[in-house]
Structure 1
Amino acid sequence: MPKMKTHTGAKRRFRVTGTGKVVRRQAGKAHLNEHKPTKQKRRLTGMVVMPKSDASKIKKLLGK
């Protein structure tokens, strides 16, 4: 049986931590930032842990 291929879209968007949690970037900070308040842009910085229900699906796409 052939190897499972990694989903290329998923590998760009998600990362698995050392403890096995799936993290992603916050949505809403990629573009059109000029009119957004600084407070909002600061809040959207950093990574967020995905819920367990979604994490299992994402891990399958990543081949974990």
Structure 2
Amino acid sequence: MGRIPPTPLMKEMFYAKLEKDDYIPALTWITSNPSKDCSHFSKKSWMNLFKENSQRFQKDTIVRLMNEWKK
């Protein structure tokens, strides 16, 4: 209710949606919940998090996520 969730919670919710192949809800979650600290969402930060959590996703998750983002 007008409060911004903590960054770790935002990322965990994003990953939980990706694990279920829910790409549109995952993107909606991130875009509708802006972070106070943009450095947590830098390109390098995302790449590190995807590498650290790669065992949680299917091999083509990032490609499918990017395809949904372009739509």
Normalized per residue, which structure has more helix? 2
Bigger CA radius of gyration: 1
Q: Same fold (TM over 0.5)?
A: no
Q: TM-score, normalized by length of structure 2? A: 0.27
